[in-house]
Structure 1
C-alpha cells in the first residue's frame, strides 16, 4: 500500500491487544487497539479494511459503516445473501462505499479477457467452467476448514471459481448445489433464476473447489466463435 498508493495505515485492531501491538510494531503502524470498535471510532481512520474471519465480516463491516467509514471487505464478502444485503443496505443508507476485496478481478490478464469478450473476440459467452483446489493439511478447527468460521470448500475456496464465472457472465443467475460436503464443492450457475430447482440444459457455468486435493487450477470460457482456456501461471490459450 505504501509503495503503490498515497494511502497510509494509521491503526490496526484485533481481539487480542498483544497481537495488534505486535502487528503494529512489525509494520510501523502508529496505533493498535484490542477491539474493532476503537479502530472504527479513530478520527484519523478514513476507511476500514475488514480482514477478520468470514463469519465476522457482516458485523465488522456494519460497525465501520455506522461510524461513517467506507469499507473494503476481504473475500468471501459474507456467509450468505442476507448478510450481503444488510451490508450494502447500510452502505447505501449512509452514502458510503462498500466492496468485496476480490483481488483476482483486478489482475491484468483478467482485465484483458473482459476487454476481449466485450469486443466480441469469441462471440457471445455461452458457458464458463472453473476449478480451484488446495491441499490444506490443517486441523478442522482452523478458520479455512471450520464452517463455524465460514471456512470450507464453498465459503472459502469456492469464492474464486464462482467469482470468475459471475464476473464474466454478469447479470443475475440461479445457483444449484451438489456435493457440498466440507472438502468439496460443486455449483452450477443457470442463465435465469431457478428458485432452487435443478439446472438441467440451462446451465451457464460450473464451479468446483476442493481443500483435500491440490489440482491444476483452470478456467475455460466458451463462446459461439472460440473457446479460451486460462491456466496458471496466467497463460491464455485460444482455439477454434
Structure 2
C-alpha cells in the first residue's frame, strides 16, 4: 500500500453558491461532513483542507483540521490540491471535493483500492447507479460512459451513453452518476496541472475531460449510492430531504 494524502479543496468564493463550504447542514457545515468522512476512512497519512479564505482557515482550526492557505488566483480545485500536496512525499493524492457531504468512508477506501489494484489506471474515481430519473437530464449531475473493466470513455452533463429505444439494453443498462472524488498517482496529477485546459473541458466545464484528452486513463469503481452534492442553494433542501430518508 502506497502513501496517500487526501486534500479537500474548499474554495470559499464559489460562483454558483458563495460560502457553501461553511453553510450549515444538519448541525455541521458542508465542509465538516466531508472532512470527517476522510478522517474516519483512515486510508491516508494526512487529510488537508486547502482554501483561499481566512474564514475557512479559522473553521479548520476550530475542528482541528490540517490547513493549507492557497492563492485565490488558482483556477481549479485540482490546482489547489496540487499546491497543497506537491512537496509531500506520497504515492497517491486524493482530490476530495468539499461539496460532497454524503461521501462515505467506504467509497473513499474502495476508490483508493481500485487504483492500487489496477496498474493501468492513472486516476481513479467513483460512480453510482442513477435511481432518480430527474438526475438523468440534470446538467449538475455528471454522467459516465465506461467499459466493463471500469475504464472511463467520457464524462458529460448530458445523458450518456445514449439509450436507443430499439436496443435490447435499453431498459437494462443504467446511467451512472459521477462522484466528486479523484485519486491521482502523484506524477499524473503533476502532469495534469501543467497541461492547458482542453476544448472539451472548457465546453462541458469538466476538468476530468482534460485528463482523457491528455491520454491519462481514468478507472471508475461503482459504489452503492451517492447522495446529492451541493452545487447551488437549492441543493441544500435536497440534501436535507436525503438525510432524513437515511435516518428513517
TM-score (norm 2): 0.29
Larger Rg: 1
TM-score (norm 1): 0.30
Higher RCO (C-alpha under 8 Å, 6+ residues apart): 2
